[in-house]
Amino acid sequence: MKHRNSIVLMVSLLLAGMCITAGNAAGASLSDDRTDNDSGDGLVMVGVSQVGSESDWRIAMTQSIKSAFTTDEGFYLIFQDAQQKQENQIKAMRNFILQEVDYIVLDPIVETGWDAILQEAKDTGIPVIIVDRMVDADPQLYTCWIGSDFEKEGRDAAEWLAAYLGTEGRGEEEIHLVTLQGTLGSSAQIGRTKGFSEVLDEHENWKMLAREDGDFTQAKGQEAMEKLLERYDDIDVLISENDNMTFGAIDAIQKAGKTCGPNGDMIVISFDAVEAALDAMIDGEINADFECNPLQGPQLLETIRNLEKGMTVDKIQHVDETYFDATMNLPELKAERKY
């Protein structure tokens, strides 16, 4: 594995331009256990192309990566926020290749359209690690993937709903559902929709009235929910594919003079389980929330360390996840959490 010397590092940073921020470079010293140093300061350069900062989850994930890859740990992080645009991610990756980084980390906004740039990285011998969302590409083009089992999250949410309706004595009732979907074509949207639909298909009395795109943001979630509430006055269940869309949807529901949560007009099921969502659950506005773990920095760090040592790493690595519902001791559970 190549490592840059200081001059190359400086040139690289100039090349990287204004939109790139380097993690914790100032004043930190290198640790003694760094590996494979063949030049200068011996920092391992890692270029990260992040989707954006569209949600609380995303901000926690970015923070987790930035605090793992420090110069103290022997890494030089080049972080690029693509502002939810695939073309920005491709440009960032091309810059990383030009800078001859040691590793590229890609969190792909959508699954398709990566073949050419992944091939470019492979041709120059730079390993690409995919995180969070997945690519629909030849697995030979990337080293490994670290992320969540989105289909399982979707299935778990639907199975929770079936059990909940059963305990409420509504197991046989006709149930009207709507879904706020995340960025269309992203793994989180595809997996959660697919997993939920598998269980939906087993319940003839569940009717999915509509699925609306809310792009994983609070503003679009609110807008989409407003439209749904105008169109339907008999919604029993809202499935919202992330917490920020849920926050927007709750505002829309309340503005429409309706209520939601365990004692409300509408059951709300959300994904991510960020701190503000647990607060909303404590306030009685969300029924259940399926965790998606954004703290992927340490596992990514360990994976790159292992690759640096020449070890093979698991091609598919899932992160641990759980769920929360309004029957649990949420204040106590919340106190143990970091996001």
Query: Which residues of the shown chain bind ligand GYE in the complex (CB under 6 A)?
Result: 54-55, 57-58, 132-133, 148, 188, 216, 242, 271-272, 292
Nearer of residues 58 and 66 to ligand GYE, judged by Cβ? 58
Both tokens of residue 182? Answer: 């995340």
How far is 109 from 132, CA to CA, in rounded Å? 10
**Which residues, other chains included, contact 168 with Cβ-Cβ below 8 Å and sequence gap of 6+?**
none
**Helix axis angle, 243-255 relative to 218-231, nearest 10°?**
40
Pick 75 or 324: Cβ nearer ligand GYE: 324
The size of the chain, in residues, is: 339
**How many Å apart are CA 217 and CA 329, to the nearest integer?**
28
In terms of CB distance, is 55 or 222 closer to ligand GYE?
55
Q: Which is nearer to ligand GYE, 95 or 242 (CB)?
A: 242
- State in angstroms the smallest separation of the CB of 36 from ligand GYE: 32
Q: Which is nearer to ligand GYE, 12 or 217 (CB)?
A: 217
CB of 56 to ligand GYE, least distance (A): 7
Q: Are strands 288-291 and 323-325 parallel, antiparallel or unpaired?
A: antiparallel
Helix pair angle (86-98, 115-123), 10° resolution: 10
Q: State the minimum distance, in angstroms, from the CB of residue 53 to ligand GYE.
A: 9
Residue 183 CB, nearest approach to ligand GYE (Å) = 7
CB of 96 to ligand GYE, least distance (A): 21
Exposed, middle or buried, 332 (CB in 10 Å: 0-12/13-18/19+)?
A: exposed
Q: If we measure between CA atoms, which residue out of 310, 314, 277 comes closest to residue 292? A: 277
Interatomic CA distance for residues 60 and 242, integer angstroms: 14
CA–CA separation, 135 vs 138, rounded Å?
9
Residue 272 CB, nearest distance to ligand GYE (Å)? 5
CB of residue 292 vs ligand GYE: minimum separation in angstroms? Answer: 5
CB nearer ligand GYE, residue 175 or residue 188: 188
- Residue 174: CB minimum distance to ligand GYE, A: 30
User: Are 289 and 295 spatial neighbours (Cβ–Cβ below 8 Å)?
Assistant: no
* Contact between 267 and 185 (Cβ < 8 Å): no
Token pair of 54, please?
């569209």
Least Cα distance to 93 among 66, 120, 123 occurs for 120
Nearer to ligand GYE, 43 or 130 (CB): 130
Closest CB to ligand GYE among residues 57, 206: 57
Using CA atoms, how far apart are residues 264 and 255, in angstroms rounded to an integer? Answer: 14
